[in-house]
Amino acid sequence: MSDDGGFLSSQSSRELTEDDHEKLAKQTSISDFKRNKLEIDARKNWDKFYHRNKNNFFKDRNWSAEDLKMMCPDIDFEKEISYLEAGCGVGNMLFPLVAEIPNLKLFAFDFSDNAVKLLEERAKELELSVATSVVDLSIPSVSSPFEEQVDLATLIFVLSAIHPEKHQISAENVRKMIKIGGSVVVRDYGINDHAMIRFGREARISDRFYVRQDGTRAYYFDLNELSEVFEKSGFRCVRKEYLHRMTVNHQKGLKAPRIFVQARFIRES
């Protein structure tokens, strides 16, 4: 296991404790009716989330430039690069990134209208040009919503919000937005993450797929499973890892082992 920018990087997730197993055993599944309703209302629930929280919920990802350069050492970020924040939310990845790498040509989409509007407002305030679109990755599409394909895309905690049966469709849609030879960098929730263990009763939709109290959903990935999804869609995996971090709540004296998956894929066909 190696230290990687504040995270420990490895090829395996963590071993569950006896307490973890007991908590998982107490989790119960939601009804078929609620399961179907969550799928139907997925866009509405994220729209409500952004209407309620505006720009205030997620912090800007100020680690993004450093991490991208580490994940993509062969890319010359001094040159103009077309960059897409896929599932952009309010642009918590995009805005810190362009502040550090000003040569980026910016593209962004989300399936929440409210999120895209908030991003556009911030871009206007900062006098940044960003091509935007409202896109649902889980619906098959024949082409990219943008006039050109990009050199680099990121999917940061995006796929986990989509039903696992639609991950393959999502990867194929992303592929259409990236040039052959271009890259997509993915970071998302990993199997055995503390957040997965702490879900209570009537929160489990299916294996490793849960609903939060606000109706948004979260899936927890196995690293090889994530890689297979993109490889089936014409990508080659050049790096994949579990990221481990222990978060500490000093006030409550609690430690939470967080587990994420991270990978880089290059479009080959």
The domains found in the chain, sorted by start residue, are 2-267 (3.40.50.150)
Q: What is the DSSP letter of 97?
A: H
Q: How confident is the model at residue 56 (pLDDT cuts 50, 70, 90)?
A: low
Rounded to an integer, the average pLDDT of 51-60 is 62
Please state whether 38 falls in left (phi above 0), alpha (psi between -120 and 50) or beta: alpha
> Is pTM beyond 0.85 here?
yes
Q: Write the CA distances from 21 to 27, 128, 170, 208, 253, integer angstroms.
A: 10, 48, 32, 14, 22
Max mean pLDDT range (26-30, 43-47, 62-66): 26-30
User: What are 97's two structure tokens?
Assistant: 């990134």
Q: How confident is the model at residue 53 (pLDDT cuts 50, 70, 90)?
A: low
CB neighbour list of residue 151: distance below 8 Å, 6 or more residues apart:
75, 81, 82, 83, 178, 179, 182, 183
pLDDT in the model for residue 1: 42
User: What are 38's two structure tokens?
Assistant: 């969550």
Span 132-156, pLDDT tens digits: 999 999 999 989 999 999 999 999 9
Please state whether 192 falls in left (phi above 0), alpha (psi between -120 and 50) or beta: left
pLDDT in the model for residue 192: 97
pLDDT in the model for residue 22: 96
